Structure 1
Amino acid sequence: MNCCQTSSSHWVFPTIILCLFGFFSMMKPSEPFVVPYLAGPDKNISLSVITKDIFPVWTYSYLVLLFPVFVLTDYVRYKPVIVLQGVSFIITWLLLLFGQGVMCMQVVEFFYGMVTATEVAYYAYIYSVVSPEHYQRVSSYCRSVTLVAYTAASVLAQLLVSLAHLSYFYLYVISLVSVSIAFIFSLFLPMPKKSMFFHTKPNKEAPQKLPREDAVLGETQKDHKGLGNQLSSPKPSNVALRVFMQWFQDLKECYSSKHLFYWSLWWAFSTAGFNQVLNYVQILWDFKAPSQSSTIYNGAVEALATFGGAIAAFTVGYVKVNWDLLGELALGIFSAADAGSLFLMHFTTNIWVCYASLLIFKSSYMLLITIAAFQIAVHLSMERYALVFGINTFIALVIQTIMTVTVVDDRGLGLPVSIQFLVYGSYFSVIAGIFLMRSFYTIYSAKCRKNKCSPATDQNPHESGDSIPDVSTVTQV
């Protein structure tokens, strides 16, 4: 008991350090001006080479690194991976500042793939050093501080470029200083004594379980202990094998729910498209309004888009909607809005319309991904949510890689950037069509069940594919 009280009273220090790391790691004013910098006199690389030879390396590296880093993060208990992320930040910006040539920029993209793959440690670390009653507050702090930092960096970058006429090179100097400070803060993080999977505490302490905010989560905790007992009963000698067995069983149970399956499906496909659009939107802007001969406002647009996305995500908490019934309709409608904004980017010749389209696109996605995360998390324990999040992200990267090879890479179609956005708009149109049809079916089925309740329906309420089974339980063999 005393041990629990001590750990609970020491949540402030690691939270402050983690927030400082998050702030300085996202305080990079160079981000909105990556393409103008690479295409400008500093690097003098053509848009075609940036599109087809440099940027795809990030996607491929992220895909290759994600799963091993996900496993390693839990095994080494988070902090070493956060430190690795800090080192990767520094290497990336050093090469951006002083490296030359296409091959060097490809190495940059590899290390940036390492940066994004190791982000999982930042968000998972806090659950290993903070008691469950502080989870919600600390998670809010960590996510908010990165959002504030990215917005502030984008505004600062635009002011320095537009008003002070500062060279892009110095934006990268400021970014290098910022990520170096983040690395220093990462060294002061306390080393966790436990993790979600490989280094768990005995059940009597139950340190990593979620607060019992509702009955579903309470049942999740009980059943997850049951799962641990089931899996530990054969006692495989290999700890890793035991953990992988647990993961397989958990994922099988999670995706057996059609409700969670369809939300995860949208998550994976939309995240793939979202990442692809953000990866290449600066190239489209430079194609519509060349940075060497036009006044560009990338920083202001990125700041507004991030702020708009934050407002959209914030409003979700205050909207009272039956997401079980109308959630898929929202997915379809806002995915259609995403598709429309991408079509607008393709057909317009006005850079301001392109800017406005990104605001719509990013705000719609941030709104929906917040809803999707909540819909998935509310039915799962923290461990299962981490697994589902990891698998959804991995599937999204596989889809994005297929998209990159097919649409962008010269080994595929090698399409010009403007035509690419026509493809991306069509991609989101298909997503919108699938979920609109699915939502109409769900609403129609619910209406039929309401108007015609048969005894069979009353006896077996989970027979419909649209019902939400308790995915937190484990099938008894």
Structure 2
Amino acid sequence: MDLNEVPSKRKSRLVQGGGWLVPTCLLCTYGFFANLRPSEPFVTPYLLGPDKNLTERQVFNEIYPVWTYSYLALLFPVFLATDYLRYKPVIVLQGLSLIITWFMLLYAQGTLALQFLEFFYGMATATEVAYYSYIYSMVKPSMYQKVTSYCRTATLTGFTVGSVVGQILVSLTNWSLFSLNVISLTCVSIAFATACFLPMPTKSLFFHKNLHYPGDKEVYISDNSHMDSNKYALADSTEAEEIESRIALNSENRSDVKNCSPKNSNGLQSVLKTLWKYFLHCYSSRTLVCWSAWWALSTCGYCQVLNYAQGLWEKVAPSSHSDIYNGSVEAASTLLGAVAVFAVGYIKTSWSTWGELLLALFSVILAITVYIMDTIRNIWVCYVSYVFFRSIYMLLITIATFQIAANLSTECYALVFGVNTFIALVLQTLLTLIVVDSVGLGLDIFTQFKIYGGYFAAISFIFFMSGLYHVMKKCRRQPNTLASSDA
């Protein structure tokens, strides 16, 4: 049958329906190789070893903090540039930043050079938003759930494979850490080359007209950018209702935050006004504010623990005197976290009633795992505590993701998760500046982890008091509701 004989609307749908495969495969290939970095679990031993010959104070208090500052400074400009440039150029920039990072990791020497390295790594981290946004501009909404799972699986698989390969090469074949960095540089170079072949999107959310495919329903997307986030998408309102019935999503104030849809605004001033309007509209919901607050507070502490966990392990069991299993631990924590994330869909509870108290309970567990890592100076205890810490966080952040994102349309979703990430980075920057940076207190790694444990304990206390008040208020309200219904 001649394609010209197909009616124009049907032809359009055929093109759109078949056009998702190529960009999705390319993006998954990019995500896999960009995260296939066998040397990443061993970066701290590498910097403290003979290749760089840096001191612990230089690494922990002068070099590592630059990543946090760079990430914060670049996040909002990159967010706007991603939408204005329509994703692909920013993905290419991320690939280039990763190449520069690992090239400098191989050949740069001295504190100043490695601080520049951390700046480029901060740029690579900030530009992750383009990777997770690109595919939504290339496929119709009914494909969101499928392509999201593919892309997220590709990144997790790449990270896990990289960690396992790194551990095998270090433990069984006695490869040098320098050689692992060569492999990482090769992999990110393949990712960069793949990004260059990505098709260029024709639309974006704010700066360019957001076209909707005919016959598609309103879409709700859930995401976890950072810091170990897990992306989910619901293809239509029917699927959204099914998910809600399984995990009892909070229904309070939903009507107030659903209907955000951008106007045809191309100027920067107009876009900023639209973003501000969405911000005020979304954060008028108490439920969204509550879950967003936990998101920002916990992500701040989570990132600090992840950033300096290798430093703690190096102090407990120096790599120069003992075998290191950082790669195995990272792989195990990722896999167990994936299992925990999968289990979220089968948890049945009233999150609107008990959500804050459960957050308080699990935040206490996070505080305990960090405290155990700090006080029991046994490397295997540290490893196990770290695995549990990451898994519990992935479980909770996925629940928070569903609670927030099920109430939002695509445009509001992008804004809310961007704001939450920005607030988390501001808090992390303050914590880094005061606790870690040599300009501030410049505390040793064990004292830092005591503070991080206390930080999660404080989060638990805040949400326990808030949750207790909420439950008591709801219990007092029920007799009045029953009395009015009887009347």
Calculate the TM-score normalised by the size of structure 1. Answer: 0.90
Paired residue for 1:472?
Answer: none
Alpha-carbon separation, structure 1, partners of 2:313 and 2:462: 30
Paired residue for 1:224?
Answer: 260
Paired residue for 2:396?
Answer: 368
Runs of 5+ consecutive residues of structure 2 not aligned to the other structure = 1-8, 220-234, 242-253
Paired residue for 1:466?
Answer: none
Paired residue for 2:24?
Answer: 15
**SS of corresponding position for 1:198:** coil
**SS of corresponding position for 1:96:** helix
Measured against aligned partners, the alpha-carbon deviations of 1:342-401 in whole angstroms (never above 9, x if no partner) come to 111111111111111101110110000100111110000011011001010001000000
Measured against aligned partners, the alpha-carbon deviations of 1:149-173 in whole angstroms (never above 9, x if no partner) come to 1111111111110110110001000
Paired residue for 2:458?
Answer: 430
Given candidates 30, 45, 58, the residue that maps to 1:36 is: 45
Matched, 1:198 2:207: yes
1:446: Cα distance to partner?
Answer: 2.1
Alpha-carbon separation, structure 2, partners of 1:292 and 1:138: 44
Given candidates 353, 378, 397, the residue that maps to 1:325 is: 353
Matched, 1:386 2:414: yes
Alpha-carbon separation, structure 1, partners of 2:44 and 2:69: 19
Given candidates 51, 74, 78, the residue that maps to 2:87 is: 78
RMSD (Å) for aligned C-alpha atoms: 2.2
Calculate the TM-score normalised by the size of structure 2. Answer: 0.88
Alignment check: 8 A CA contact 1:30 1:171 kept:
yes
Alpha-carbon separation, structure 2, partners of 1:456 and 1:403: 50
Given candidates 112, 115, 118, the residue that maps to 2:121 is: 112
Paired residue for 1:281?
Answer: 309
* CA 1:334–1:221: 2 relative to 1, 3 Å: closer
Alpha-carbon separation, structure 1, partners of 2:214 and 2:106: 49
Alpha-carbon separation, structure 1, partners of 2:293 and 2:238: 25
Alpha-carbon separation, structure 1, partners of 2:476 and 2:257: 35
Paired residue for 2:274?
Answer: 246
**SS of corresponding position for 1:293:** coil
Paired residue for 1:298?
Answer: 326
Given candidates 285, 310, 315, the residue that maps to 1:257 is: 285
Alpha-carbon separation, structure 1, partners of 2:484 and 2:97: 59
**SS of corresponding position for 2:439:** coil
Paired residue for 1:453?
Answer: 481
Paired residue for 2:387?
Answer: 359
**SS of corresponding position for 1:296:** coil
Paired residue for 1:212?
Answer: 236
Alignment check: 8 A CA contact 1:220 1:381 kept:
no
1:309: Cα distance to partner?
Answer: 1.0
* CA 1:410–1:457: 2 relative to 1, 3 Å: farther
Alpha-carbon separation, structure 1, partners of 2:216 and 2:119: 36
* CA 1:93–1:208: 2 relative to 1, 3 Å: farther
Alignment check: 8 A CA contact 1:216 1:379 kept:
no
Given candidates 43, 53, 61, the residue that maps to 2:70 is: 61
Shift >6 Å, 4+ stretches: 215-222, 454-458
Measured against aligned partners, the alpha-carbon deviations of 1:284-312 in whole angstroms (never above 9, x if no partner) come to 11011111111111111111111111111
Q: Which moved more, 1:96-105 or 1:52-61?
A: 96-105
Alpha-carbon separation, structure 1, partners of 2:92 and 2:216: 24
Alpha-carbon separation, structure 2, partners of 1:4 and 1:207: 11
1:3: Cα distance to partner?
Answer: 2.5
Paired residue for 1:467?
Answer: none
Alpha-carbon separation, structure 2, partners of 1:253 and 1:201: 20
**Amino acid of the structure 2 residue aligned with 1:262:** C
Given candidates 103, 107, 113, the residue that maps to 1:98 is: 107
Alignment check: 8 A CA contact 1:128 1:208 kept:
no
1:455: Cα distance to partner?
Answer: 7.5
